Chain A
């Protein structure tokens, strides 16, 4: 590039505070070089990867909207997605590699060249490897395409310890689905659902456009939606009924739900017999969990549980119990999410309209169709590096073990910080994180900071000087998603497809994309042969050179979709599929279903209502209700949730989004507030076993009397991010770093005391 950031700086309107901070963009007022036509791409303001299109106009404005070719989003986009440009030109964005000078955490950095940064990192990495072994360096990334390169680098370097953000977010449902269906990635047919039970999966605030559209379409068509949530969310406001369930007791509700399904014989007997194993053991394990008994636990009446179960079953198989997204409410998360996964199977709503379905990749789809419908584009062209022959720190690699449902590319992220401090099973001396902000997202933030300060080497790849990056030795500025091309990704739904991220503007400043960073550093360290591509275009060509027409279509439309939607147990869908692909008839079973698609990657090959692997590993093969005792009698449950205008710990400093919301008042029931003499805006101190936070209160009728709620993503500690610094509270300072069994999740509910200040 050869463009220095100062080329973009204009003296006018620039505060000295901005200038004194090295490595940041300052007030960008230069000309953006980019396409005036809409470029089709993929958003990265959260992890969802919604299809977008963006352009620069003659007035140097960037405009981002949804990709109209997407059947799932139809051009829709959320506020975060629309604000990508605000991040792109944010004065507080990092645009030069930074090296720490002074003590760790002191906040003194100097700009260095990429070569200097690489040199420093490679010397330190080699030093640690010689002294302590490669396994003592951990690598962690937010879920996304960057992982391909980071994980390759980590394995090439020789450590087995790679992680993503799973255990602070979706591990709960993914492990539960893996236990029951052998795959953590089942899809939900929201749009065609006729009855939906939702446990705090607030699709209208934890925005995923396709989910929000799907639920809205279902509601338009008359779907019954029941929201069980301790606080009144936007989703609850659109639901037919809001049931303020007791925090952490959702598992109790589900046990009674399954009890009713089984003992009132409301379940789909044929489906259970044909596609599942372990029914008798399930029946045995659930027999004592009567609605009457469970009602006391979850604070929902037995009559209500029974009537909802009957109603739900009456809509089967076009009903759904939503397995949620961000966990974890309690240490018993696996029991709760697995109960949901099992209940769906009992209802027989798998591969049906309005139920759950397996995403259909090109290989499987082509096989069933009996002809080549979709191109098979390689996921990665990188040579496979054998997994380093060392045990991981989190036990995820123990075959048949308690945590074996968690993928090895995911791991139990929060274990890293615990391990740095207690050095068990062995010490971690180096840490590499990319687009990860553990100080915000991992429970017990104070311990996380302590851990970060103890490291011999801490490398951070980010677009911001985040709460975590401020403790780094080296910070590498990554190009934002609007400035970088990426490889082709599969995007499978009811039929196979692909999508691609393409740059809209040339990179501003001296930033680089991940595919380049890891390749260059590997070259420096002597294993560049593990990254056999010249640039990302070369990578793409190696992925798909057999399909020039598809490449062209993919790049011009941003996404492709092949064939027609297929639900393996929906008569109408099957008829259409067979008509289009007559060779597929050979795969129809005696019931006229494509049972091949329901073959699971579980031990038995079937849907497992009792998990023999977990039974062996930790005695959790059956469903069991353990009251998790999340708080003391006089305490409040502290719960949290997502807001539509921010993404977790990442966006509080994006100017447009900060302008919409820069603080998170804590919801408290109006009656309780009256008793305590608390008015809107009053400050309280919230104390838990591990920490305390000061927060403003928002008295409201929309929450249970025993519960406090706050949106997360606030209470930032990085002074470099001026507009978000110190505003609001961060629950991670209150949470204990507890790992829930099996799912390995960080638990996100805790008992707290409050006092007015």
Chain B
């Protein structure tokens, strides 16, 4: 049993989209749709003191899961390792989960007719190589994947040392995707 989680270090992210392409490639995401996107926002500030923000959009792997609770057939579920996933065989295509997700992380896959989203490459790269595809290709190591239940996991150390945020925390969804916020001109440990 694990409690899989991911750190997105936006100080180190350069918005290069290699994660997004690796995800598409490994998980056969239909063209034009994304399980994972990184957006470069900005620049903001007063010339010439400017900054870009780098933001990851993907499933937040909530511990309190709006998408699971609305699913009438238990097709949306959380597995024993804390990964929020979809059982295509049980899905009746009601799309409640898509509208329930406060992070807009789900989309309808036009090929399978089943909602689709990031599942940490559970059936693909994680299964074969021990980590999600986006993590393995990131040129600047802006992504760290690990087990929150293991105190020896590097992710544990990072989260105990660094400030981090989680999206829409006020909703009480307790996401397991942690963001280290970007600070202008600083990539420092």
Give chain B residues whose Cβ lies under 8 Å from the Cβ of A222. 188
Q: Are B137 and A83 in contact (CB under 8 A)?
A: no
Per-residue contact bits, chain B 30-46, to A (CB 8 Å; 1 contact, 0 not): 01100000001011111
Q: Say which size band chain A's interface belongs to.
A: 35 or more
Give chain B residues whose Cβ lies under 8 Å from the Cβ of A220. 12, 187-189
Q: Are B47 and A701 in contact (CB under 8 A)?
A: yes
Give chain B residues whose Cβ lies under 8 Å from the Cβ of A657. 21
A117-B125 Cα distance, complex, nearest whole Å:
43
Q: For residue A85, which residue of chain B has the nearest CB? A: B25
B170 in contact (CB, < 8 A): no
Q: Are A644 and B31 in contact (CB under 8 A)?
A: no
A82-B25 Cα distance, complex, nearest whole Å:
7
A-B contact count (CB 8 A): 131
Q: Are A78 and B139 in contact (CB under 8 A)?
A: yes
CB distance from A201 to the nearest CB of B (A): 14
A522 in contact (CB, < 8 A): no
CB distance from A60 to the nearest CB of B (A): 10
CB distance from B109 to the nearest CB of A (A): 15
Q: Are B52 and A77 in contact (CB under 8 A)?
A: no
Known contacts A63-B25, A76-B18, A237-B43; is-contact A209 B139 (Cβ 8 Å): yes
Known contacts A237-B43, A239-B185; is-contact A65 B22 (Cβ 8 Å): yes
Per-residue contact bits, chain B 177-189, to A (CB 8 Å; 1 contact, 0 not): 0000000111111
Q: Are B22 and A702 in contact (CB under 8 A)?
A: no
A61-B28 Cα distance, complex, nearest whole Å:
8
Partner of A234, one of B25, B40, B45, B48: B40
CB distance from B161 to the nearest CB of A (A): 13
B117 in contact (CB, < 8 A): no
A239-B44 Cα distance, complex, nearest whole Å:
15
From residue 147 to 189 of chain B, which have CB atoms closer than 8 A to chain A?
Answer: 184-189
A81 in contact (CB, < 8 A): yes
A77-B138 Cα distance, complex, nearest whole Å:
7
Q: Are A238 and B18 in contact (CB under 8 A)?
A: no
B87 in contact (CB, < 8 A): no
Q: Are B137 and A216 in contact (CB under 8 A)?
A: no
Q: Are A77 and B22 in contact (CB under 8 A)?
A: yes
A243-B16 Cα distance, complex, nearest whole Å:
23
From residue 227 to 249 of chain A, which have CB atoms closer than 8 A to chain B?
Answer: 232, 234, 236-244
Q: Are B32 and A66 in contact (CB under 8 A)?
A: no
CB distance from B125 to the nearest CB of A (A): 8
Q: For residue B125, which residue of chain A has the nearest CB? A: A63
CB distance from B7 to the nearest CB of A (A): 15
Give chain A residues whose Cβ lies under 8 Å from the Cβ of B101. none
A319 in contact (CB, < 8 A): no
Give chain B residues whose Cβ lies under 8 Å from the Cβ of A207. 16, 139
Known contacts A659-B32, A702-B50; is-contact A238 B14 (Cβ 8 Å): yes
Known contacts A213-B139, A656-B31, A659-B31; is-contact A644 B16 (Cβ 8 Å): yes
Most buried by A among B14, B52, B141: B14
Give chain B residues whose Cβ lies under 8 Å from the Cβ of A644. 14-17
B51 in contact (CB, < 8 A): yes
Q: For residue A59, which residue of chain B has the nearest CB? A: B28
Q: Are B185 and A240 in contact (CB under 8 A)?
A: yes
Q: Are B50 and A204 in contact (CB under 8 A)?
A: no
Q: Are B187 and A219 in contact (CB under 8 A)?
A: yes
B6 in contact (CB, < 8 A): no
Q: Are B18 and A77 in contact (CB under 8 A)?
A: yes
A56-B169 Cα distance, complex, nearest whole Å:
40
Q: Are A232 and B50 in contact (CB under 8 A)?
A: yes
Q: Are B14 and A234 in contact (CB under 8 A)?
A: yes
Give chain A residues whose Cβ lies under 8 Å from the Cβ of B17. 79, 644-645, 660
A79-B189 Cα distance, complex, nearest whole Å:
26
Q: Are A655 and B50 in contact (CB under 8 A)?
A: no
B79 in contact (CB, < 8 A): no
CB distance from B148 to the nearest CB of A (A): 23
B106 in contact (CB, < 8 A): no
A645-B39 Cα distance, complex, nearest whole Å:
13
Per-residue contact bits, chain A 74-98, to B (CB 8 Å; 1 contact, 0 not): 0111110111010000000000000
Partner of A243, one of B20, B32, B48, B185: B48
Q: Are B136 and A75 in contact (CB under 8 A)?
A: yes
A239-B141 Cα distance, complex, nearest whole Å:
18
Give chain A residues whose Cβ lies under 8 Å from the Cβ of B139. 73, 76-78, 207, 209, 212-213
Most buried by A among B15, B21, B50, B136: B21
B144 in contact (CB, < 8 A): no
From residue 1 to 28 of chain B, which have CB atoms closer than 8 A to chain A?
Answer: 12, 14-18, 20-22, 24-26, 28
Q: Are A244 and B48 in contact (CB under 8 A)?
A: yes
Give chain A residues whose Cβ lies under 8 Å from the Cβ of B48. 232, 242-244
Known contacts A237-B51, A239-B185, A241-B185; is-contact A656 B137 (Cβ 8 Å): no
A241-B139 Cα distance, complex, nearest whole Å:
23
Other A-B pairs beyond A244-B47, A655-B31, A660-B20, 6, CB < 8 Å: A63-B25, A77-B22, A79-B21, A244-B48, A645-B16, A701-B50
In the A-B complex, list the 5 residue pairs whose CB atoms are closest, starting with the nearest: A82-B21, A76-B139, A219-B187, A79-B17, A644-B16
A residues with a Cβ closer than 8 A to B are 59, 61-66, 73, 75-79, 81-83, 85, 204-205, 207, 209, 212-213, 216, 219-220, 222, 225, 232, 234, 236-244, 644-645, 655-657, 659-660, 700-702
15 A/B residue pairs, CB under 8 Å, sorted by A: A61-B26, A63-B25, A63-B26, A63-B125, A76-B18, A77-B18, A78-B18, A79-B21, A82-B22, A85-B25, A212-B14, A212-B139, A225-B185, A644-B16, A660-B17
